[in-house]
Amino acid sequence: MSEKYDYCIIGAGAAGLSCAIAAASNGNSVIVLEKNKKAGKKLYATGNGRCNLTNRYADTACYRSKGGGYLELLFNLCHGVDISEQVCGFMNALGILTTEIDGYVYPASFQASSVVWAMLDELKKLKVSIECEHEVNDIKQYGDLYRVHCGNEEYTAANVVLAAGSCAYPSLGGSRSGYGLAERLGLKVIEPEPVLTALKVGKQEHFELLKGVRARGRVDACDRSGRLLASEYGEVQFTEDTLSGIVCFNMASLKPDRIRICFFDRVPDRNAFISHADRTLIGVLNGYVNDRLAEYMVESYGLKRSTCCSDLSIKQIDAFVGHIAELEFHVTGTEGFDKAQAATGGISLDMIEPSSFAVKGRKGLYAVGELLDIDGKCGGYNLTFAILSGLKAGGGYHA
């Protein structure tokens, strides 16, 4: 005889835990089934463990979907209340104070663990069962009820919420299991692709000089023809063979052919070099940028590290200034799902009722969070959507 619940939630990530809290706060019996060894595995690591909860500068331009249809979904989350305020209000109700740095909102502790613990404590208070290492194999609908199968165990529920997350970052629990469950239930799934991940750079001479460098600049993503796809200012981090950092993560979904970067607030003109004729080019550039970046600028132009400003003619200096004003890097791909913070694609939004996150035409079936075909920029946007979609599917939180 299977146990019967009002809600059976598949997945104990941010969306699943939020949904469980909301549903239970409305007097429902709730069970959460999680395939990993502990609840909130990915949430513990979000924001490098600091947990970037939301962002004060949230608008529809910060989100996208492969199949479209996300605007109505976002508008229904707002209901006239700023979405970042909703997240902060929910956190405050759980006892988590928040703090803001340049629009990025974090728990005051700057620890993701404090958010997970607060959510788990609330679920314990609400008498919600969380069963870890319970991977759901199948879900069957029988009239107004669903039977959820985990190996030899079976659970019956009036409502099932698919909150299994995306296949991004498998080392933190990401997998394709949620997509499989959705497809077996007859839902349309748009093939997922990795986003918010580093951009791989093709073999480029002297690129090894940049490994470990962090520098701020204007980053332009361009297609093969050189057409500008997007432009953003921020910090770029160089690894052995990638361009990393938030600004580059945000451009992964565009699949750029090349990245152009200006690392100068004000590009040095010929006079900057002529007036210091006795210094090396690297020495002059180091007054503007990181020394290894300066070294790369010189050597990637075909000059020696020891080249002095006086070694170049005015015409050669002008040409060199043109080179350093905008460095170009050829992109060969991304680091893939292994290190992607999110995925684009998932359950098609045309199957989802925007007001409740219920699956259209399937009474008692819901889908939330990363499993849906909607993804946001880096900076708390995906966690915001996960939390608010979970709360919505659970009927709203009532403390």
How far apart (Å, rounded) are the C-alpha atoms in residues 212 and 190? 36
- pLDDT at residue 80 in the model: 58
Answer yes or no: is pLDDT of 1 > 70.
no
Residue whose pair of structure tokens reads 């985990």 in the numeric block: 150
**343 contacts 337 by C-beta, under 8 angstroms:** yes
- pLDDT at residue 214 in the model: 96
Give pLDDT tens digits for 117-164.
999 999 999 999 999 999 999 999 999 999 999 988 999 999 999 999
Enter the tokens of residue 139: 């879900």
Between the alpha carbon of residue 68 and those of residues 106, 193, 308, 345, the distances in Å are 30, 15, 55, 10
- pLDDT at residue 70 in the model: 79
CA-based radius of gyration for the chain? 25
Between the alpha carbon of residue 15 and those of residues 20, 130, 397, the distances in Å are 9, 14, 13
Q: What is the mean pLDDT of residues 337-364?
A: 94
Whose CA is closest to 185, among 140, 144, 147? 140
CATH 3.50.50.60 fits 3-193+344-393, yes or no: yes
Q: SS3 of 358, please?
A: strand
Q: What is the mean pLDDT of residues 45-53?
A: 91
Q: Give percent above pLDDT 70 in the chain.
A: 98
Residue whose pair of structure tokens reads 């010189």 in the numeric block: 298
- pLDDT at residue 69 in the model: 80
| CA terminus-to-terminus distance, the chain | 33
Enter the tokens of residue 294: 């300066």
Question: How many CA atoms lie within 13 Å of 38's alpha carbon, on the beta-carbon side?
Answer: 11
Instruction: Report the DSSP beta bridge partners of residue 141.
Output: 146
Enter the tokens of residue 30: 């709730």
What's the whole-model pTM score?
0.91
Give pLDDT tens digits for 378-397.
999 999 999 999 999 999 88
> Domain spans of the chain?
3-193+344-393, 199-334
- pLDDT at residue 2 in the model: 67
Answer yes or no: is pLDDT of 189 > 60.
yes
67-76, 266-275, 296-305: least confident range: 67-76
**pLDDT mean across residues, the chain:** 94
How far apart (Å, rounded) are the C-alpha atoms in residues 47 and 105? 11
Task: Using the CB atoms, write b or e for 299-317: b if 16+ within 10 Å.
Answer: bbbebeeebbbeebeeeeb
Q: What is the mean pLDDT of residues 8-21?
A: 98
- pLDDT at residue 79 in the model: 65
- pLDDT at residue 104 in the model: 94
Question: How many CA atoms lie within 13 Å of 42's alpha carbon, on the beta-carbon side?
Answer: 31
A 10 A CB-CB count for 210 gives 25
In sign, the C-alpha dihedral spanning 348, 354, 360, 362 is positive
Helix count and strand count (H, E) for the chain: 12, 22
- pLDDT at residue 188 in the model: 97
**364 contacts 144 by C-beta, under 8 angstroms:** yes
